[in-house]
Amino acid sequence: MTKQWWENKFLENRDGKLFVGGRKAEAIVEEFGSPLFVYSRSQILSNLEALRKAFAGTQAPDLRICYAMKANANREILEFLKGKNIWIDAVSPGEVDLAVRTGFPARKIIFTGTSISAQDIKSVFGHEGPIVNIDALEQLESMIEIKKKEFPDKILRVSVRWNPGIGRGFSPKTVTAGRVSSDGTPIKFGIEEKHVLSAFEKSAQAGFQPIGLHQHLGSGWTEDDLGDVLEAVNRMIDKAVQVQKAGFPIEFLDFGGGFGPKYFEDQKPFPIHEYSRFIGNKLARSGLDIESIAIEPGKYLVGNAGILLMRVEYVKRSYGHLFACVNAGTFNAVPRPAIYVQAHHHIVNSSEVESDSPQPVTIAGNLCETGDVFGKNIIIPVPKKGDVLALLCAGAYCRSMASKFNLREIPAEILV
Ligand SMILES: Cc1ncc(COP(=O)(O)O)c(C=O)c1O
């Protein structure tokens, strides 16, 4: 029996069978049905501790971990994180409402919207104390109007999301800073460098409390992204020094999310220790006086703490291709490979993890679309009718991006 690269606190290869949270994957499907998302408390906790540890030994001040709940807004996951001294990164009033309903104090929510409406602003500021990121000077204009009309005497904390001119992401669609993405798409997020001070000035004049500077460069970094990411850290801290010198008492710097789990065997993970050490050292040298730094992990916290279990309905051959036809669809459950060509999810045959004669198999979903495949010609022990396949790293941006395309149900979820 070979140790598999994906084994963790949650997933284990025991004598050729996949065990999930200590139980045979096949038994879980027997009890709860399929397709089924299974998430793991112990793996989420282990990811959280790894992050805390990475920053603990550095010169960075107090660390705020703000969970990017867009990655997975499962209620039980939120409940679990609530007890772990976690903040929330929310991007819509719906996310803010759910976080508050789950019991997160609104003052521990940072709201980072884009194209946000007057109604959105009213709704978010209606809660007690969230921090609202200013994404555009034009957004600030509506915030000022709403403050005057609805909340003239309320203390409203804001921060400024700037675009440092560099972005990195695993796909052009997930690069969120810089002038344009790698495919030429103009980047819509954040305030241009030359307008940052003005955002602080105007918001302070209007009676807001501007207390933070924020950036989010993109999603899905690997080791190759380190150089540019560190350069963006440099720019952010230099900019914060300028803002503080101009008389604005910044309390925190928020470096956003972006670092992810390992989706495939050869992927070189982003070196978080180097990143955290660099932030700590640069801050210590900068003379900046801040209370805390924030990071906004989504993928890193929950990605490898979730899988999708699916059953093989039948195995079909057509024009020389072998298909394992499963009872789930990409758009309904794991739309990432359908949306991003670069996305990859490793698939394990839970019923036979290893074999001496694996073969190329296409894992085909149950939707009427050729692109509805979870893996093309992947080399895997050949599945049989009734086998349970596990799609790994399905904890982030899977269920939360799912749809009811073809009027197929979105899979159920359990937390173990
Ligand atoms: C503002 C912001 N913060 C954090 C994240 C989380 O990114 P990741 O899941 O890659 O850590 C995102 C993702 O889109 C985001 O837009």
pLDDT digit string, tens, across residues 329-366: 999 999 998 899 899 999 999 999 999 999 999 999 99
Other residues' Cβ atoms within 10 Å of the Cβ of residue 128: 10
Query: Which pLDDT score is estimated for 2?
Result: 81
Under 8 Å between Cβ of 98 and 78 = yes
Query: Which pLDDT score is estimated for 1?
Result: 72
Q: Token pair for residue 84?
A: 């772990």
- Nearest alpha-carbon partner for 111 in 102, 120, 197, 162: 120
Atom of ligand 1 nearest to the CA of 299: 9
Output the CA 256–ligand 1 centroid distance in Å: 6
- What single string gives the DSSP state of each residue in 39-99? E-HHHHHHHHHHHHHHHHTSS--EEEEEEEGGG---HHHHHHHHTTT-EEEE-SHHHHHHH
Whose Cα sits closest to atom 9 in ligand 1?
Answer: 298
pLDDT digit string, tens, across residues 37-92: 999 999 999 999 999 999 998 998 999 999 999 999 999 999 999 999 999 999 99
Output the CA 272–ligand 1 centroid distance in Å: 16
pTM summary value: 0.97
Please give the biggest Cα pair distance in the chain. 71
Whose Cα sits closest to atom 4 in ligand 1?
Answer: 257
Output the CA 89–ligand 1 centroid distance in Å: 8
Q: Cα–Cα distances in Å, from 327 out to 316, 332, 408?
A: 14, 11, 10
C-beta of 219 in contact with ligand 1 (< 6 A): yes
Whose Cα sits closest to atom 12 in ligand 1?
Answer: 257
- Residue 1's DSSP bridge partners are none
Residues classed as catalytic: 368
C-beta of 296 in contact with ligand 1 (< 6 A): yes
Residue 11: exposure state from Cβ atoms within 10 A (0-12, 13-18, ≥19): buried
C-beta of 298 in contact with ligand 1 (< 6 A): yes
Output the CA 212–ligand 1 centroid distance in Å: 17
Q: Is the peptide bond before 269 cis (omega within 30 degrees of 0)?
A: no
CA–CA dist 322, 307 (Å, integer): 24
Under 8 Å between Cβ of 89 and 112 = yes
CA–CA dist 16, 124 (Å, integer): 50
C-beta of 216 in contact with ligand 1 (< 6 A): yes
